[in-house]
Amino acid sequence: MSKKFWRQGEPFVWATGLALSLILFLTLLLIYVVTANGISVFWPKPVALATLSDGQRLIGEIVQEETIPGTENKRLQFKIGNRDLYGLDFKWVESANIVSLAFPKEIQVLERQEYGNFYGFLHELEVKSIAPPASGSNSLVLTIAALDERKNEMHLLGKKIANLNRRVELIDHHLTKALYNKEKNTPALAAMQGEKQGLKTEFEALVSILGEKSAALATNQAIFTDANGRTKAIALANIVRTYQPNAMSFFAKCGYYLERLRELFFDEPRESNTEGGLFPAIFGTVMLIFLMSILSFPLGVLAGIYLREYAKDGWLVRLVRIAVNNLAGIPSIVYGIFGLGFFVYGIGGAIDQFFFPERLPTPTFGTGGILWTSLTLGLLTVPVVIVATEEALGSIPPGIREGSQALAATKLQTLTRILLPMASPGILTGFILAMARAAGEVAPLMITGVVKLAPALPLDRVFPYLHLDRKFMHLGFHIYDIGFQSPNVEAAKPMVYVTTLLLILIVLAMTSTAIYLRNKMRQQHSVVDV
Question: 11 or 421, CB closer to other proteins?
Answer: 421
Give the span between the Cα atoms of 163 and 321, in whole angstroms. Answer: 52
Give the span between the Cα atoms of 141 and 143, in whole angstroms. Answer: 6
Task: Provide, rounded to whole angstroms, the least separation between the CB of residue 409 and other proteins.
Answer: 5
Give me the torsion for CA of 502, 504, 507, 511, rounded to 10°. Answer: -130
- Within 10 angstroms of residue 375's Cβ, the number of other Cβ atoms is 22
Question: 3 or 312, CB closer to other proteins?
Answer: 312
# binding residues, other proteins (CB under 8 A)? 27
Give the span between the Cα atoms of 317 and 312, in whole angstroms. Answer: 7
Question: 71 or 395, CB closer to other proteins?
Answer: 395
Task: Provide, rounded to whole angstroms, the least separation between the CB of residue 319 and other proteins.
Answer: 18
Letter for the amino acid at 430? Answer: G
Task: Provide, rounded to whole angstroms, the least separation between the CB of residue 513 and other proteins.
Answer: 24
Q: Which helix (H) or strand (E) holds 269?
A: strand 269-270
Task: Provide, rounded to whole angstroms, the least separation between the CB of residue 430 and other proteins.
Answer: 20
Per-residue interface string for the shown chain with other proteins, residues 346-385, x marking contact by CB under 8 A:
----------------------------------------
Question: 54 or 529, CB closer to other proteins?
Answer: 529
Question: 418 or 438, CB closer to other proteins?
Answer: 418
Question: 122 or 418, CB closer to other proteins?
Answer: 418
Task: Provide, rounded to whole angstroms, the least separation between the CB of residue 516 and other proteins.
Answer: 20
Listed in sequence order, the residues at least 6 apart from 272 whose beta carbon sits closer than 8 Å to its beta carbon are 452, 453, 482, 486, 487
Strand partners, 110: 118, 242
Task: Provide, rounded to whole angstroms, the least separation between the CB of residue 421 and other proteins.
Answer: 8
Question: 212 or 313, CB closer to other proteins?
Answer: 313
Question: 134 or 408, CB closer to other proteins?
Answer: 408
Spatial strand order in the sheet of 90-94: 90-94, 74-79, 57-67, 47-52, 98-102
Task: Provide, rounded to whole angstroms, the least separation between the CB of residue 300 and other proteins.
Answer: 24
Which of 222, 217, 49 has its CA nearest to residue 122? Answer: 222
Question: Scanning residues 282 to 341, which ones bind other proteins (CB under 8 A)?
Answer: 312-313
Per-residue interface string for the shown chain with other proteins, residues 166-205, x marking contact by CB under 8 A:
----------------------------------------
Task: Provide, rounded to whole angstroms, the least separation between the CB of residue 407 and other proteins.
Answer: 4
Spatial strand order in the sheet of 117-126: 231-235, 221-225, 117-126, 108-112, 239-243
Letter for the amino acid at 504? Answer: I
Question: Scanning residues 388 to 447, which ones bind other proteins (CB under 8 A)?
Answer: 397, 399-410, 413, 417-418, 421-422
Give me the torsion for CA of 313, 318, 320, 325, rounded to 10°. Answer: 130
Strand partners, 118: 110
Binding residues for other proteins, rule: CB under 8 A, are 312-313, 397, 399-410, 413, 417-418, 421-422, 524-530
